Amino acid sequence: MAFKALFLAHAPDADCEKHKSIIDTGKYRLLTVVVKSQDEAIKVSKSVYEKEKIDAIMLCPGFTHSDVAEIFQALEGKVSVNVARGDGPSSKISQDVIQREFFNK
């Protein structure tokens, strides 16, 4: 039985039905989905859990602490929910690109 994980990322132009993938090594099954909003993240998380019985969810740095808590609660504490965070300089690099690409700043 493989360890199953879902990675969620945000993008303003995401289509969660289209922007997704699966990598399966046999021992590790990684599902990725790009979502537009927190509501969509919860919907996708619940759906993937029901279909795949995932063990963990990894979130991009754009998810807030309250977003993490909301996803954890939506899945009734059955799935580990983690956030990928960088150090200060790395976060600054990512933030600059996201501001430019997502918000035209």
What is the chain's mean pLDDT, rounded? 94
Q: Please write down the long-range contacts of 62-68, taking CB distance under 8 Å and 24 or more positions apart.
A: 62/9, 62/10, 62/98, 63/8, 63/10, 63/38, 67/38, 67/41
Total structural domains within the chain: 1
**What is the structure's pLDDT at 99?**
87
Task: Show the domain range for 56.
Answer: 3-103
CATH code: domain of residue 53: 3.40.50
Q: Letter for the amino acid at 33?
A: V
The percentage of the chain sitting over the pLDDT mark of 70, rounded to a whole number, equals: 100
Task: Tell me the mean pLDDT in the region 45-59.
Answer: 98
Each residue's pLDDT tens digit, 2-40: 999 999 999 999 999 999 999 999 999 999 999 999 999
